[in-house]
Amino acid sequence: MTSTILIEGSARHAHVTQGDLETLFGAGYALRVKRELSQPGEFLSEEKLRVEGPKGAIDRVSILGPVRRATQVELSLTDTRVLGLDAPVRESGDVEGSAPIRLIGPAGSVDLTQGAIVAKRHVHLRPQDAEAIGVVNKQIISVRADGPRAVTFHEVVARVHENFMPAMHIDFDEMNAAGLGGSVQGEILL
Amino acid sequence: MTSTILIEGSARHAHVTQGDLETLFGAGYALRVKRELSQPGEFLSEEKLRVEGPKGAIDRVSILGPVRRATQVELSLTDTRVLGLDAPVRESGDVEGSAPIRLIGPAGSVDLTQGAIVAKRHVHLRPQDAEAIGVVNKQIISVRADGPRAVTFHEVVARVHENFMPAMHIDFDEMNAAGLGGSVQGEILL
């Protein structure tokens, strides 16, 4: 059984709590929507952060909205080497025991004792997509991306929710390893 | 039929002609051996270059010796985005029509009209390894790297030569996409 799925590259980004947003950007601050993302309700904001680790810093890191219950920074492994962090590969939101990182905004800075992760690659599926493909929520699948640098990604987490738009999310190390640019279709392999 | 092979990450590096070496480092200059590499006769030199593209520069790029008949720079796709180059994925030595790049050394600079490539992933095999595995020179194979970020690399070129040490060479985008650090074993899939 094979099915195709849109593969989208996720650049490094942060999710922030309202409290950390106000520390970074000022009291009463609200994220401004720059562009809607493929997952309904999610958006790229106009706001940018600087992030710092023991070995280096990266400027102009995007913040994705809306605000969340925990602040986290999703980096590529390339980024973690620039920053000097030992960040684990995790699903978004699973920040317990992840790497410390400093966030710097125009109004202040936040020292996270944990929150820096490398996003575990995943596919978003609606229940009807999952049923058609024959996968269940949290199932580990593989996805092949063709081309002159064809790669099959294993250890891909399937996430199923009725509000999702079907898409696979990988970071730019993974995009580059597969020679992908822009949006392409991958083939789900069970 | 499966066989295991050592996977080694290749950092960005340059190969230079004796003429370009002398332009960059001075008349009569010779590369100094810092460390022998896995392929017999190849070495990491003590010398470092700066490389520049239209959008950025990267310092301390290693030069691998011995000198060659054509100067080339092997970059990751991440590097090409930093530099602003549109470098093709190519086998080493296949630089015809590849991207222009500027090299800067302590004694001078070299403007290459072509020579910047992204190395096509490959395995080095001796004739006896190739025969045991059942592949021939230039055959395109796949190699699986296991772990929490398991990947199968397709479009891997098998290169067969009696002077080779068996090893797969991938760049750091590919190492990071597979979550690899240090030397690991991959599984050759035909």
DSSP one-letter string for A119-181: EPPEEEE-HHHHHHHT--TT-EEEEEE-STT-EEEEEEEEEE-TT---EEEEEHHHHHHTT--
CB A76 within 8 A of CB A118: yes
Q: Do A153 and B151 touch (CB under 8 A)?
A: yes
Taking only the tens place, the pLDDT of each residue in A33-72 is 999 998 999 999 999 999 999 999 999 999 999 999 999 9
Pairing of β B43-52 and β B184-189: unpaired
**Sign of the CA dihedral with B162 first, then B165, B166, and B168 last:** negative
Q: Do A179 and B152 touch (CB under 8 A)?
A: no
**Residues pairing with A35 in the sheet:** A44
**Is residue A98 pLDDT above 80, yes or no?**
yes
For residue A78, give the nearest of B78, B148, B155 by CB distance. Answer: B78
Distance of alpha carbon B109 from alpha carbon A59, whole angstroms = 30
User: Which chain A residues touch B147 with a CB distance below 8 Å?
Assistant: 155
Q: What is the mean pLDDT of residues A113-128?
A: 97
Q: How confident is the model at residue B38 (pLDDT cuts 50, 70, 90)?
A: confident
Q: Which string of DSSP letters, residue by residue, matches A67-135? A: --SS-EEEE-HHHHHHHT--PPEE-TT--TT-EEEEEE-SS-EEEEEEEEEEEPPEEEE-HHHHHHHT-
Rounded to the nearest angstrom, the gap between the alpha carbon of residue A178 and the centroid of all alpha carbons in its chain is: 18
pLDDT on residue B190: 84
Residues B21-47 as b/e (b if ≥16 CB within 10 A, e otherwise) read bbbbbeeebebeeeeebebeeebbbeb
pLDDT on residue B182: 78
**Is residue A18 pLDDT above 80, yes or no?**
yes
User: Which chain A residues touch B152 with a CB distance below 8 Å?
Assistant: 142, 151-152, 154
For chain A, the average pLDDT equals 96
User: Which chain B residues touch A155 with a CB distance below 8 Å?
Assistant: 147-150
Distance of alpha carbon B41 from alpha carbon B164, whole angstroms = 10
Q: What is the pTM of this model?
A: 0.93
Q: How confident is the model at residue B181 (pLDDT cuts 50, 70, 90)?
A: confident
**Is residue B175 pLDDT above 80, yes or no?**
yes
Q: How confident is the model at residue A190 (pLDDT cuts 50, 70, 90)?
A: confident
Distance of alpha carbon B172 from alpha carbon B181, whole angstroms = 9
* ipTM of this complex: 0.91
Least confident of A2-6, A88-92, B82-86, B108-112: A2-6
Distance of alpha carbon A45 from alpha carbon A30, whole angstroms = 10
Q: How confident is the model at residue B2 (pLDDT cuts 50, 70, 90)?
A: low
Distance of alpha carbon A156 from alpha carbon A118, whole angstroms = 14
As given in the structure block, the two tokens for residue B151 are 């990947």
pLDDT on residue A1: 52
